[in-house]
């Protein structure tokens, strides 16, 4: 998702959702993902706290990530772009089954946002 954003194939809102899923979800723990994504989370929080809402999942542990009603503010997109570049430089290469699982989670979150 981060590469797609830098290439102009994804918007800032998609980056916010994908970053929140990767940062707050359990898929990235133990591989340095959270530390690499921290600058992105900082920009997202500074730009517009509450862009993403966390909700309870009935009948399961964890939470659901939902997009709040407001889009990511355009005036912070330059900061977001710099944070994405920094995160990509610090992320370890995805290997094994973790990458498909993360991709499925991100795509599922985006599908839920679009169908809401």
Residues for the chain: how many in total? Answer: 116
pLDDT-derived band at 108 (thresholds 50, 70, 90) equals: confident
Q: What's the confidence (pLDDT) of residue 71? A: 74
Q: Kindly state the average pLDDT of the residues 24-51.
A: 74
Whole-structure pTM value? 0.60
CA distance 31 to 101: 14
Tell me: pLDDT of 96 over 60: no
Helices (H) and strands (E) in the chain, counts: 5, 2
Q: Kindly state the average pLDDT of the residues 92-112.
A: 65
**Per-residue pLDDT tens for 48-84?**
766 667 777 777 777 777 766 667 788 889 999 998 8
Q: What's the confidence (pLDDT) of residue 44? A: 84
Higher per-residue pLDDT: 90 or 67: 90
* Domain ranges across the chain: 2-115
26: left (phi over 0), alpha (psi -120 to 50) or beta: alpha
């Amino acid at each position: 998702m981060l590469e797609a954003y830098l290439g102009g194939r994804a918007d800032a809102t998609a980056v916010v959702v994908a970053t929140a899923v990767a940062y707050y979800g359990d898929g990235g723990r133990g591989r340095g993902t959270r530390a690499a994504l921290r600058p992105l989370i900082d920009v997202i929080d500074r730009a517009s706290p509450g862009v993403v809402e966390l909700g309870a999942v009935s009948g399961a542990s964890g939470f659901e990530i939902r997009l709040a009603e407001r889009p990511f503010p355009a005036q912070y997109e330059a900061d977001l772009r710099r944070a994405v570049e920094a995160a990509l430089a610090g992320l370890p290469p995805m290997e094994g089954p973790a990458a498909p699982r993360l991709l499925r989670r991100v795509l599922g979150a985006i599908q839920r946002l679009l169908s809401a």
